[in-house]
Amino acid sequence: GALLLVVALARPAARAQLEEEVEGIDILLCLDTSSSMTADDMERRRTRLAIARDAAIDFVRGREQDRVGLLTFARYPDVRCPLTRDHAMLEEILRDVTTVSGEGPEDATGIGTAVARAAQVLERSGAASKVVILLTDGDENVAQAGVQGEIAPAHAAQLCERLGVKVYAIAAGSGRPDPGGTWRRPDTRTLEALASRTAGVFLAATDADALAGVYAQVDALERTFFAEPRPVFSDRYLSFVIAALIALLLGALLATTVLEVQP
């Protein structure tokens, strides 16, 4: 009886997979983490990355039925979170996103490579609407003329078009200083072409409020039903408690018979 009580205190449980059918969109957030995202021109005392990160968190909180993932990029793309409905976990990952070092080789902007990697992540999705929300404050400076083996934004757009992935491209910030110290407005032609080729939307976000606009447009997208496996746990300790009580009661009863333990 004592042994059974110990087992019951361990709270044994059974785990089963519940196939839950939900209606939603598959969305991959694609966030620029180059060092220029530390600029504070969008809002006083807040960096571009902090604003983009907070806007993404607010967006995720309102997408309960959608599977959302996260990819960050500078020179190279990094899938930080696969498509998931565990938005609490995704929010924790978003809060930990930081920019790369401005002194290292990673500090570049590889838009084409990032979008191509995002399309690859969404390739196996069965959702009717597959969306990449790309936020960057810079121009493509990795896949340039004469550079071999790099993926240009135009080629990434072709891949997205073939896979049915829409790119919502956001140009964040008001620009950056050139080597001579003159403030240069961003060249958004690449982002505009990328969004247009994939039937997405381009938005120039010069302040924090403008970032919310592109997220609101995702609501109008077609939704689809897909199966979402969800683990379900059920307690199994009650049967051990009952068995322990029966054993202890039986032991007490037997102690009153000829089986009584003598001093």
- What pLDDT, in 10s, does the model give residues 182-219? 667 778 899 999 999 999 989 888 887 877 777 777 76
Quote the pLDDT of residue 173.
Answer: 85
* 15: β partners: 233
C-alpha to C-alpha distances, 46 to 37, 40, 223, nearest whole angstrom: 10, 5, 35
Rounded to whole angstroms, the Cα distance separating 131 from 129 reads 6
Rounded to whole angstroms, the Cα distance separating 157 from 237 reads 55
pLDDT over 70 at 221, yes or no? no
Q: Are 112 and 158 in contact (CB under 8 A)?
A: no
Quote the pLDDT of residue 16.
Answer: 77
Cα atoms found within 13 Å of the Cα of residue 12, Cβ hemisphere only: 11
Q: Are 138 and 95 in contact (CB under 8 A)?
A: no
Phi, psi of 177 (to 5 degrees): -75, 145
pLDDT in tens, 84-129: 989 999 999 999 999 998 888 889 999 999 999 999 999 988 777 8
Quote the pLDDT of residue 129.
Answer: 85
Rounded to whole angstroms, the Cα distance separating 75 from 113 reads 9
Q: Are 231 and 18 in contact (CB under 8 A)?
A: yes
